[in-house]
Amino acid sequence: MEIYEILHKDHEKIKLLLNDLINLDEDPEKKHVLIAQVRDELIPHSRAEETVFYNSLREMDQAKDIIMHSYKEHIKAEALLKTLQAKEKIDLDWKSTAKKLKEALEHHIQEEEEKIFSVAKLLFTDEEATQFAAAFEKMKPEIRKENFLGTTIDLIRNLMPPRFTSSLKKSDSPQPPSNP
Ligand SMILES: [Fe+2]
Ligand SMILES: [Fe+2]
């Protein structure tokens, strides 16, 4: 299986969860579970996607701008998720934030699947796309176990130019396949 198919499956799962969330009637327990599920799907997906996929693409001129744009959308979505978690705790108007998160992610996913996948398919071989998939699948469960601080450090690490990241790299982190 290639990376595109794996990422697409995750995207569909995240979209379904957000749909369930915004259609939820007042049910605090279910709301809490759904928000936790969104977190557990979104954060490992985004971190592994950045590490394996984005970081291999952003070195290439054809992909640099769209990848940096996509990183910003990851940050925006995570800020909305944090706001949603905070509002859920104090029972403020959480639904407007859930809707914003859904819209932001639907936009991001559409752009990712249309623009980034198209560029990647031109730049990577099928074999590389399969290697990315394996690295992504290996990395995701590890990220799921990390706390907020850990995933935030990973985000910063992914955003920094590669030459600055070596000192922050965890020795046990699975590494993405190298660039061609
Ligand atoms: Fe994605
Ligand atoms: Fe993404």
108 is in which domain, residue-wise?
A: 3-161
Output the CA 12–ligand 1 centroid distance in Å. Answer: 10
The mean pLDDT of 80-109, rounded to a whole number, is 94
pLDDT computed for residue 130 by the predictor: 96
> Domain for residue 180, yes or no?
no
Type and span of the H or E element at 163? helix 162-165
> Domain for residue 178, yes or no?
no
pLDDT band per the 50, 70, 90 thresholds, residue 162: low
Output the CA 166–ligand 2 centroid distance in Å. Answer: 23
Instruction: Give the ligand at the shortest distance from the Cα of 54.
Output: 2
> Domain for residue 169, yes or no?
no
> Domain for residue 175, yes or no?
no
> Domain for residue 172, yes or no?
no
The mean pLDDT of 103-132, rounded to a whole number, is 96
Q: Is the pLDDT of residue 172 over 50?
A: no
More confident site: 109 or 160: 109
DSSP letters spanning 43-98? HHHHHHIIIIIIHHHTTSTTTHHHHHHHHHHHHHHHHHHHHHHHHHHHT-SHHHHH
Output the CA 158–ligand 2 centroid distance in Å. Answer: 13
Instruction: Give the ligand at the shortest distance from the Cα of 70.
Output: 2
Q: Is the pLDDT of residue 155 over 50?
A: yes
> Domain for residue 167, yes or no?
no
pLDDT band per the 50, 70, 90 thresholds, residue 110: very high
> Domain for residue 171, yes or no?
no
Q: Is the pLDDT of residue 54 over 70?
A: yes
Output the CA 74–ligand 2 centroid distance in Å. Answer: 6
Contact 176, 132 (CB under 8 A): yes
pLDDT computed for residue 73 by the predictor: 97
What mean pLDDT value characterizes the chain? Answer: 88
**pTM (two decimals):** 0.86
pLDDT computed for residue 62 by the predictor: 85
Output the CA 52–ligand 2 centroid distance in Å. Answer: 12
Q: Is the pLDDT of residue 61 over 90?
A: no
Cβ within 8 Å of residue 47, ≥6 positions away: 139, 143, 151, 154, 155, 158
The mean pLDDT of 80-85, rounded to a whole number, is 96
The length of the chain in residues reads 180
| Structure-token pair, residue 40 | 């557990």
> Domain for residue 170, yes or no?
no
pLDDT computed for residue 163 by the predictor: 56
Domain count, the chain: 1
Q: Is the pLDDT of residue 80 over 90?
A: yes
